[in-house]
């Protein structure tokens, strides 16, 4: 027996119904904001991801050489492919551009609860727009999606990665990209002890950056009731603080009240300004993050003209872990008939399929066995077409829950099935 690869899953029909239901709700949410779906290839040139995240990412992804010797990779995320698509073909389109996507991604990592080697992302990219208004839309849309799918309990954290970069560079003005990248990776992993050790190793006084150390627990930046004022005390009344304060005012107007969290580093080090993360309150253990995003610079890196861009992605699989969805009642009908009445059964099934999900027996079972099968599959209504029904020009409709049976003509049958 050949088993499925480690870190992948099979989904039964019931689970797929749940997933498609949530996917539809997400699509409806973003389309109401004017976002349009795009799709990119499952694999890309490896350079697309190493340019963005450095050579270290090769150890974390599925990369390979094709028969022509080209270095390729299964996509580990979708932002880079979307921006590559934009630079290739869409730079001259009127701004803003509002895109969304839903697709599977692949990472070579240790599988655990809420983390798989094949996983699904639902996200958006917003290219163009004034900073305060575009950042407001990005964050508000993420919250709207969660509210629309019925996830009521979550924590929204908002920060600004440029403040972290300023804090680090103020201690050492000769830090290279590799050292800076390691600092932010340690922060993203919430590795407080590892971060302290590394800062000491490269000659940065951890005590002078004590706010950087507070990266565990609830990830709050400070314990003060006014983190904006605390940020001003550390950085001064700079533009980044003003932008953050303006953003908070816009979010409050939409009845969104995030936690200010200036320890957010984001694992992908191309983020440049406002960043945010959303955590589930329960159901995921340590892997609580279900959404993350922010402002980033990739367009110029990929050879395009400078343009502000931002986006976010949901970990769709993690959302499915925490989202409680009642089992949907399906209006499924089964038409059962004897061999000598098979043609009449096929005809009525064809008419019913214009409005309903309809199954026909393909096993050649007896009427009794077909009824038993329908019951085992949870079918609510069964249309019986036997010799008696054909001769009398009517159908027998059976309610499988109550056991009640009624005889009816075609029009009445269609009407009753809709109830």
Torsion of CA 109, 115, 116, 121, to 10 degrees: -110
- What mean pLDDT is predicted for residues 201-229? 55
| Percent of the chain at pLDDT exceeding 90 | 62
Kindly state the tokens that stand for 72: 């390729």
Domain 332-417's class?
alpha beta
Say which CATH topology domain 13-322 has.
BirA Bifunctional Protein; domain 2 (3.30.930)
- Could you tell me which residues are annotated as the binding site? 77-79, 107, 121, 125, 266, 270-271
Question: Is the model's pLDDT at 315 over the cut of 50?
Answer: yes
- What mean pLDDT is predicted for residues 90-117? 92
Residue 411: the pLDDT is 87
Average pLDDT, the chain: 87
Residue 54: the pLDDT is 78
Residue 410: the pLDDT is 87
Q: Among 48-57, 101-110, 164-173, 254-263, which stretch is predicted with the lowest mean pLDDT?
A: 164-173
Per-residue pLDDT band for 177 (boundaries 50, 70, 90) equals confident
In this structure, how many other beta carbons lie within 10 angstroms of the beta carbon of residue 366? 13
Per-residue pLDDT band for 215 (boundaries 50, 70, 90) equals very low
Of residues 213 and 75, more confidently modeled: 75
Report the distance separating Cα 19 and Cα 53, nearest Å. Answer: 30
Residue 183: the pLDDT is 79
Question: Is the model's pLDDT at 44 over the cut of 60?
Answer: yes
Residue 198: the pLDDT is 87
- Could you tell me which residues are annotated as the binding site for L-histidine? 77-79, 107, 121, 125, 266, 270-271
Reduced 3-state DSSP string for the chain: CCCCCCCCCCCCHHHHHHHHHHHHHHHHHHHHCCCEECCCCCEEECHHHHHHHCHHHHHHCCEEECCCCCEEEECCCCHHHHHHHHHHHCCCCCCCEEEEEEEEEECCCCCECCECCEEEEEEEEEECCCHHHHHHHHHHHHHHHHHHHCCCCEEEEEEEHHHHHHHHHHHCCCCCHHHHHHHHHHHHCCCHHHHHHHHHHCCCCCHHHHHHHCCCCCCCCCCCCCHHHHHHHHHCCCHHHHHHHHHHHHHHHCCCCCEECCCCCCCCCCEEEEEEEEEECCCCCCCCEEEEEEEECCCCCCCCCCCCEEEEEEEHHHHHHHCCCCCCCCCEEEEEECHHHHHHHHHHHHHHCCCCEEEECCCCCCHHHHHHHHHHCCCCEEEEECHHHHHHCCEEEEECCCCCEEEECHHHHHHHHCC
- What mean pLDDT is predicted for residues 386-404? 92
**The pTM is what?**
0.86
Of residues 194 and 359, more confidently modeled: 359
Name the residue ranges covered by the structural domains of the chain: 13-322, 332-417
- Per-residue pLDDT of 114-133, as tens digits, reads 689 999 999 999 999 999 99
Residue 382 φ/ψ, nearest 5 degrees: -125, 130
């Amino acid at each position: 027996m050949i088993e499925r690869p480690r870190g992948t899953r099979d989904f039964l029909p019931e689970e797929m119904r749940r997933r498609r239901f949530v996917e539809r709700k997400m699509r409806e949410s973003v389309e109401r904001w004017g976002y349009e779906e795009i799709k990119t290839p499952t694999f890309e040139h490896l350079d697309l991801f190493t340019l963005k995240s450095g050579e270290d990412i090769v150890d974390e992804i599925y990369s390979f050489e094709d028969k022509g010797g080209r270095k390729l990779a299964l996509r580990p995320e979708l932002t880079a492919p979307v921006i590559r698509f934009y630079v290739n073909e869409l730079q001259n389109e009127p701004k803003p551009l509002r895109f969304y996507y839903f697709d599977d991604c692949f990472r070579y990592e240790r599988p655990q609860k809420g983390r798989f080697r094949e996983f699904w992302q639902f996200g958006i990219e917003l290219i163009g727009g004034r900073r305060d208004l575009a950042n407001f839309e990005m964050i508000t849309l993420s919250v709207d999606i969660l509210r629309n799918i019925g996830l009521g309990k979550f924590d929204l954290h908002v920060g600004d990665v440029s403040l972290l970069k300023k804090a680090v560079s103020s201690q050492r003005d000769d830090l290279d990209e590799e050292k800076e990248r390691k600092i932010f990776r340690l922060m993203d992993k919430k590795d407080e002890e590892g971060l302290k050790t590394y800062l000491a190793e490269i000659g940065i006084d951890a005590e002078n950056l004590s706010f950087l150390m507070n990266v565990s627990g609830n990830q709050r930046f400070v314990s003060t009731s006014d983190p904006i004022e605390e940020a001003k005390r550390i950085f001064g009344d700079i533009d980044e603080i003003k932008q953050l304060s303006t953003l908070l005012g816009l979010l409050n107007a939409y009845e969104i009240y995030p936690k200010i969290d200036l320890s957010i580093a984001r694992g992908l080090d191309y983020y440049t300004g406002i960043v945010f993360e959303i955590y589930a309150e329960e159901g995921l253990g340590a892997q609580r993050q279900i959404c993350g995003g922010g402002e980033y610079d990739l367009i110029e890196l990929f050879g395009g003209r400078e343009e502000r861009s931002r986006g976010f992605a949901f970990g769709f699989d993690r959302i499915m872990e925490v989202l409680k969805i009642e089992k949907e009642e399906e209006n499924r009908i089964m038409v059962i008939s004897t061999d000598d009445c098979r043609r009449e059964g096929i005809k009525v099934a064809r008419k019913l399929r214009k409005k309903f999900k309809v199954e026909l027996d393909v096993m050649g079972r007896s009427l009794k066995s077909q009824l038993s099968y329908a019951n085992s599959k949870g079918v609510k209504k069964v249309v019986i077409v036997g010799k008696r029904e054909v001769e009398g020009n009517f159908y027998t409709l059976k309610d499988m829950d109550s056991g009640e049976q009624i005889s009816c003509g075609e029009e009445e049958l269609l009407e009753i099935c809709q109830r």
